Copies of this chain bind each other. A is one copy, B any other.
Amino acid sequence: MGTTQLESVPEPKYWHLKTVLSEALDQDFAVGEILPNERELAARFGVARATLRQALEQLELEGRLQRRRGVGTTVAPPRLGVAVGGTGRGWPSEAGEGWQPVDAAEGLPTPAVARLLGVDPQSRIHTVRRTRVTQGQPVAAELLHVPGGSVPGLSAIDAPAGPARARAVLRELRRLELDGQDRSVELGSARADDAKELDRLPGAPVLVVTTRYLTADGTAAVSVATYRADTCRLTFGDLGDVQIHPDDTRQAS
């Protein structure tokens, strides 16, 4: 009788821990505040550090925490709403939306890019690297692939490597008349070079946005942008303004 049915379906420790921490974050901590270090938190909750870390990992994945080696764990601000534009907007903008051209180069496409572009894998393409910064924070790294054949003026570009060359390619690209766009979003993990641009460790979770730019002739360019999944909320339309608290967005009915 007196026996209450405790843990009949024993919740994993890290899961329970995550819940407890999540509530503590809401109530007892302000954005930017530093949490006690992992060893102390683990001791305080009576678990191994690895278990505590599993809980922190989840919370970081949900955008609640930010961890930096050598510094500590801080409470993350709400995710930034970054607009990625509805279908059929237009060419990639130059200065707008925080995009910053980094460099451009010529080379062979990967099989997947060749397939997306609908070109011969052996044909040379131009690749523009851009970075997107919002409110001082790097949020995305992009590779924009343009087949040499789709833009006439491309081969004439003689700007030296660097932002100037990237801008030149983009300028040529915008001469074309755009018919529409195609977009897909999936989860990925940051490659070493992207991670560096995003100020994260390799393998960090990212949202990979693949965009096809279509003209009457077919696919004129393909962009693959990797957004920081921990700090970003991709918006299509006007939802960007609204504050969404990550944890109570969804509810049991």
A residues touching B (Cβ–Cβ < 8 Å)?
15, 18, 58, 61-63, 79, 81, 86-88, 103-105, 107, 109-113, 115-116, 127-129, 143, 180-189, 191, 193-194, 202-203, 205, 207-208, 210, 212, 224, 226, 229-230, 232-240, 242-246, 248-253
Contacts and interface: CB of A to CB of B under 8 A. Distances in A.
Contact of A249 (B110, B189, B203): B110
Main secondary structure of the interface of A (DSSP, over half): mixed
A212 to B, nearest CB: 6
B246 A182 contact: no
Contacts of A15: 202-203
A183 B87 CA distance: 12
B63 A245 contact: no
A207 B184 contact: no
Given A182-B237, A184-B233, A244-B112, A191 B87 contact: no
Instruction: Count this chain's copies in the assembly.
Output: 2
A226 B210 CA distance: 20
A58 B182 CA distance: 27
A129 B252 CA distance: 9
Of A129, A239, A240, A253, which is in contact with the most chain B CB atoms at under 10 Å from its CB? A253
Given A186-B63, A253-B127, A237 B180 contact: yes
Given A242-B116, A252-B193, A253-B105, A233 B186 contact: yes
Given A251-B143, A253-B127, A207 B226 contact: no
A188 B63 CA distance: 8
Given A86-B86, A127-B253, A143-B253, A229 B187 contact: yes
